[in-house]
Protein backbone atom coordinates (compact mmCIF):
# COMPACT_ATOMS: atom_id res chain seq x y z
CA UNK A 1 0.00 0.00 0.00
CA UNK A 2 1.30 3.45 -0.95
CA UNK A 3 1.90 5.77 1.98
CA UNK A 4 0.08 9.12 1.95
CA UNK A 5 2.41 12.11 1.78
CA UNK A 6 1.66 14.68 4.48
CA UNK A 7 3.33 18.05 4.77
CA UNK A 8 2.91 20.05 7.95
CA UNK A 9 3.55 23.77 7.45
CA UNK A 10 4.25 25.68 10.67
CA UNK A 11 5.41 29.19 11.39
CA UNK A 12 8.42 28.06 13.44
CA UNK A 13 9.56 25.83 16.30
CA UNK A 14 8.93 28.21 19.17
CA UNK A 15 7.54 26.74 22.36
CA UNK A 16 3.79 27.27 22.03
CA UNK A 17 0.56 25.35 22.08
CA UNK A 18 0.31 25.08 18.30
CA UNK A 19 3.83 23.69 17.94
CA UNK A 20 3.34 21.23 20.81
CA UNK A 21 0.07 20.01 19.30
CA UNK A 22 1.67 19.40 15.90
CA UNK A 23 4.58 17.61 17.60
CA UNK A 24 2.14 15.26 19.37
CA UNK A 25 0.15 14.64 16.18
CA UNK A 26 3.29 13.73 14.25
CA UNK A 27 4.55 11.51 17.09
CA UNK A 28 1.34 9.48 16.91
CA UNK A 29 1.04 9.07 13.14
CA UNK A 30 1.74 5.61 11.77
CA UNK A 31 4.90 5.86 9.63
CA UNK A 32 3.79 2.78 7.68
CA UNK A 33 0.75 4.74 6.48
CA UNK A 34 2.20 8.25 6.22
CA UNK A 35 5.30 9.86 4.77
CA UNK A 36 5.72 13.10 6.73
CA UNK A 37 7.61 16.32 6.00
CA UNK A 38 7.69 19.48 8.08
CA UNK A 39 8.15 23.00 6.71
CA UNK A 40 8.58 26.23 8.63
CA UNK A 41 8.05 29.64 7.07
CA UNK A 42 9.22 31.76 9.99
CA UNK A 43 12.38 30.15 11.34
CA UNK A 44 13.44 27.67 13.94
CA UNK A 45 13.06 27.68 17.72
CA UNK A 46 13.79 25.76 20.91
CA UNK A 47 11.65 22.70 20.19
CA UNK A 48 13.23 22.01 16.81
CA UNK A 49 15.31 19.45 18.71
CA UNK A 50 12.16 17.53 19.69
CA UNK A 51 10.92 17.55 16.08
CA UNK A 52 14.32 16.29 14.88
CA UNK A 53 14.10 13.34 17.29
CA UNK A 54 11.10 12.13 15.25
CA UNK A 55 13.36 11.55 12.25
CA UNK A 56 11.04 13.57 10.04
CA UNK A 57 12.60 15.71 7.28
CA UNK A 58 12.47 19.45 8.03
CA UNK A 59 12.62 22.16 5.37
CA UNK A 60 13.11 25.83 6.19
CA UNK A 61 11.30 27.86 3.52
CA UNK A 62 12.39 31.07 5.21
CA UNK A 63 15.36 32.14 7.29
CA UNK A 64 16.22 29.54 9.91
CA UNK A 65 16.79 32.11 12.63
CA UNK A 66 13.61 33.35 14.28
CA UNK A 67 13.33 37.14 13.89
CA UNK A 68 13.60 38.40 17.44
CA UNK A 69 14.46 42.02 16.69
CA UNK A 70 12.50 44.63 14.76
CA UNK A 71 15.23 44.67 12.09
CA UNK A 72 15.01 40.90 11.57
CA UNK A 73 11.20 41.07 11.42
CA UNK A 74 11.46 43.65 8.65
CA UNK A 75 13.95 41.43 6.83
CA UNK A 76 11.53 38.49 7.18
CA UNK A 77 8.64 40.54 5.78
CA UNK A 78 10.76 41.65 2.84
CA UNK A 79 11.84 38.05 2.22
CA UNK A 80 8.25 36.72 2.17
CA UNK A 81 8.10 36.50 -1.66
CA UNK A 82 11.25 34.34 -1.62
CA UNK A 83 9.83 32.18 1.19
CA UNK A 84 6.68 31.76 -0.89
CA UNK A 85 8.65 30.74 -4.00
CA UNK A 86 10.78 28.27 -2.03
CA UNK A 87 7.60 26.77 -0.59
CA UNK A 88 6.09 26.37 -4.07
CA UNK A 89 9.23 24.61 -5.34
CA UNK A 90 9.31 22.32 -2.30
CA UNK A 91 5.63 21.36 -2.60
CA UNK A 92 5.93 20.67 -6.32
CA UNK A 93 8.97 18.48 -5.68
CA UNK A 94 7.34 16.43 -2.88
CA UNK A 95 3.83 16.31 -4.43
CA UNK A 96 1.95 15.86 -1.15
CA UNK A 97 -1.46 14.25 -0.82
CA UNK A 98 -2.35 16.54 2.10
CA UNK A 99 -0.95 19.89 3.25
CA UNK A 100 -1.67 20.68 6.90
CA UNK A 101 -1.18 24.26 8.04
CA UNK A 102 -1.19 25.85 11.46
CA UNK A 103 -1.28 29.58 12.36
CA UNK A 104 -2.02 32.37 9.94
CA UNK A 105 1.34 32.89 8.22
CA UNK A 106 1.58 29.17 7.49
CA UNK A 107 -2.13 29.07 6.55
CA UNK A 108 -1.80 31.85 3.99
CA UNK A 109 1.56 30.87 2.50
CA UNK A 110 0.74 27.16 2.56
CA UNK A 111 -2.60 27.61 0.83
CA UNK A 112 -1.31 29.82 -1.98
CA UNK A 113 1.83 27.72 -2.48
CA UNK A 114 -0.27 24.55 -2.83
CA UNK A 115 -2.77 26.24 -5.14
CA UNK A 116 -3.19 24.28 -8.38
CA UNK A 117 -1.59 21.15 -6.92
CA UNK A 118 -3.79 18.09 -6.69
CA UNK A 119 -3.71 18.10 -2.91
CA UNK A 120 -6.08 18.37 0.02
CA UNK A 121 -5.61 21.27 2.41
CA UNK A 122 -6.32 20.97 6.14
CA UNK A 123 -5.94 23.89 8.53
CA UNK A 124 -5.62 23.47 12.29
CA UNK A 125 -7.02 26.52 14.07
CA UNK A 126 -5.84 27.28 17.59
CA UNK A 127 -6.94 30.74 18.61
CA UNK A 128 -9.61 33.41 18.72
CA UNK A 129 -7.43 36.39 17.91
CA UNK A 130 -8.77 39.28 15.85
CA UNK A 131 -6.22 40.25 13.21
CA UNK A 132 -5.63 43.27 11.00
CA UNK A 133 -8.08 43.68 8.09
CA UNK A 134 -5.66 42.70 5.30
CA UNK A 135 -4.55 39.50 7.02
CA UNK A 136 -8.17 38.79 7.94
CA UNK A 137 -9.24 39.13 4.30
CA UNK A 138 -6.43 36.79 3.16
CA UNK A 139 -7.11 34.23 5.88
CA UNK A 140 -10.86 34.31 5.16
CA UNK A 141 -10.15 33.37 1.52
CA UNK A 142 -7.86 30.58 2.67
CA UNK A 143 -10.33 29.14 5.19
CA UNK A 144 -13.22 29.21 2.74
CA UNK A 145 -11.13 27.24 0.22
CA UNK A 146 -9.58 24.79 2.66
CA UNK A 147 -10.92 21.23 2.45
CA UNK A 148 -11.18 20.73 6.21
CA UNK A 149 -10.62 22.87 9.28
CA UNK A 150 -9.77 21.39 12.66
CA UNK A 151 -10.70 23.68 15.58
CA UNK A 152 -9.09 22.84 18.91
CA UNK A 153 -12.25 23.79 20.83
CA UNK A 154 -15.90 24.70 20.38
CA UNK A 155 -15.00 28.30 21.19
CA UNK A 156 -12.52 28.35 18.27
CA UNK A 157 -15.15 26.79 16.00
CA UNK A 158 -17.69 29.47 16.92
CA UNK A 159 -15.07 32.19 16.36
CA UNK A 160 -14.28 30.82 12.89
CA UNK A 161 -17.97 30.80 11.97
CA UNK A 162 -18.62 34.33 13.25
CA UNK A 163 -15.36 36.15 12.48
CA UNK A 164 -14.26 34.46 9.25
CA UNK A 165 -17.74 33.37 8.07
CA UNK A 166 -16.62 29.77 7.59
CA UNK A 167 -19.29 27.12 7.06
CA UNK A 168 -19.85 25.04 10.20
CA UNK A 169 -19.93 21.86 8.10
CA UNK A 170 -16.28 22.40 7.13
CA UNK A 171 -15.10 22.50 10.78
CA UNK A 172 -14.34 19.54 13.06
CA UNK A 173 -13.57 20.03 16.75
Q: Are 115 and 136 in contact (CB under 8 A)?
A: no
Please compute the mean of the pLDDT values over residues 78-98 and round it to a whole number: 93
Handedness of CA 8, 117, 65, 75 (dihedral sign): negative
**What pLDDT band is residue 66 in, cutting at 50, 70 and 90?**
low
| Interatomic CA distance for residues 101 and 104, integer angstroms | 8
Predicted confidence at residue 70, as pLDDT, reads 77
Predicted confidence at residue 139, as pLDDT, reads 94
pLDDT of 64 above 90: no
| Interatomic CA distance for residues 123 and 140, integer angstroms | 12
Share of the chain above pLDDT 70, in %: 97
SS (H, E, C) the chain: CCCEEEEEEECCCCCCHHHHHHHHHHHCCCCCCEEEEEEECCCCCCCHHHHHCCCCCEEECCCCCCCCCHHHHHHHHHHHHHHHHHHHHHHHHHCCCEEEEECHHHHHHHHHHHCCCCCEEEEEECCCCCCCHHHHHHHHHHHHHCCEEEECCHHHHHHHHHHCCCCHHHEEC
**What pLDDT band is residue 172 in, cutting at 50, 70 and 90?**
very high
Predicted confidence at residue 48, as pLDDT, reads 95
Predicted confidence at residue 43, as pLDDT, reads 84
Predicted confidence at residue 67, as pLDDT, reads 61
Q: Give the HSE-up count for residue 43: Cα atoms under 13 Å, Cβ half-sphere.
A: 14
Predicted confidence at residue 88, as pLDDT, reads 95
Q: Are 154 and 171 in contact (CB under 8 A)?
A: no
Share of the chain above pLDDT 90, in %: 79
Q: Give the HSE-up count for residue 20: Cα atoms under 13 Å, Cβ half-sphere.
A: 5
pLDDT of 133 above 70: yes
Amino acid sequence: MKRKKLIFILNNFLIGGAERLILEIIKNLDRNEFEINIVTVFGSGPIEVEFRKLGTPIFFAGPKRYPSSVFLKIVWILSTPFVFLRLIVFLRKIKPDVVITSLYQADILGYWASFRLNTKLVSIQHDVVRINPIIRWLKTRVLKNTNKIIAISNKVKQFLIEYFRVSASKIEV
